[in-house]
Amino acid sequence: MSAFLTIALIHFLAVISPGPDFAIITRNSLIYSRRTGIFTAAGLGCGIILHATYSLLGIGLVISKSILLFNTIKWIGALYLIYIGWKSLTAKHRTVTVDTVVHERKDLTIAEAFRTGFLCNALNPKATLFMLALFTQVIDPSTSLLTQMGYGLYMGIATFIWFSFVASVFSLGPIKAVFARIQGSVERVMGAVLIALGIKVALSSSK
C-alpha cells in the first residue's frame, strides 16, 4: 500500500503538470467537443499503459540507452506536436458564437480523437524516461509482475479520468462561449504552445 500511494502521488503530480498532454486535451476540448476531449483522454491513458508495458518488458531500458532509438522516438514525437501546432496556427477563423462553432467546425471521429491522444503520449520520450525511472527507482524489484502490471493499469486509468475531467471543464458551455469570441487568438496561442513543446521535446536528451 505504501508503494502504491507513492506511485499514485508521483503520477498525479506528473499528470497535472503542464505539458503536451494537457495542451492537446485543452485544444481538442475547446475547438471540438466534450466527446472528442474524452476520447483524446482515452488515447492518453492507453499511451501510459503502453509505456508501462514496455518498461516492464525491459524495452524502456533499451530505448533509454540507445541514442538512435531515443532520437527516433523524440523526433517523431516533436514533429507530431509541431504539425498539430501548425494546423492551429494556420486554421481559418470566422466563428463568433457557440452555435456557429458547432456548425462550422467538423468534429473529429472517435478514432481520430483517440489517435491524437495516443500518439501525443506514446511518442513523448520524456514519458518513456518517467515510466522507466518509476519502475526502476520506486517499485521494489521483488514486486510481483502482476502487481507491477496493476500499477501500470492504474496509471493509465487515472490519466484517463484526470484528462476526462479537464476535457469536461473546457467543454462547458460558458467556457466555450468565451472561447467562441476569442477563438482565433486561443487557437494561435495553443498552436504556439504545441510548437514550443515540440521544440522542447526535440531538444530533450536521454540523460
What secondary structure, in 3-state letters, does the chain show?
Answer: CHHHHHHHHHHHHHHHCCCHHHHHHHHHHHHCCHHHHHHHHHHHHHHHHHHHHHHHCCHHHHHHHCHHHHHHHHHHHHHHHHHHHHHHHCCCCCCCCHHHHHHHCCCCCHHHHHHHHHHHHHCCHHHHHHHHHHHHHHCCCCCCHHHHHHHHHHHHHHHHHHHHHHHHHHCCHHHHHHHHHCHHHHHHHHHHHHHHHHHHHHCCCCC
Tell me which of 27-31, 92-96, 127-131, 170-174 is least confident: 92-96
Which pLDDT tens digit goes with each residue over 113-154?
999 999 999 988 778 888 877 777 777 767 788 888 898 999
